[in-house]
Amino acid sequence: MVTRELVKEEIERLNREELSEVYEFIKQKMVQPKARTKKKSLMASLKSIKINAPEDFAINHDLYVTGEKRA
């Protein structure tokens, strides 16, 4: 079933008070300005990652893993 049909079925089961609450919710959703947030690209997300490691970590990572070097 499509979401719209599912919502219609559920609305049919509501009592008068619940229906009023749903109506108020829908009204508020229609009035509120939609916040348009630009989704960050994968590369932008990856660029924002900060790694706290020594400067030579990429070159000598195996030495840090084995414990021969300490940060």
In a domain, 39, yes or no: no
Q: pLDDT value at position 17?
A: 93
Q: pLDDT value at position 39?
A: 83
Tens digit of each residue's pLDDT, the chain (71 residues): 699 999 999 999 999 999 999 999 988 888 877 666 778 899 988 998 888 877 776 777 788 788 887 76
What's the N-to-C CA distance of the chain in angstroms?
Answer: 57
According to DSSP, residue 59 is labeled T
Q: pLDDT value at position 9?
A: 93
In a domain, 12, yes or no: yes
Q: pLDDT value at position 71?
A: 66
Number of domains in the chain: 1
What three-state secondary structure class fits 1?
A: coil
In a domain, 28, yes or no: yes
In a domain, 60, yes or no: no
Q: pLDDT value at position 63?
A: 82
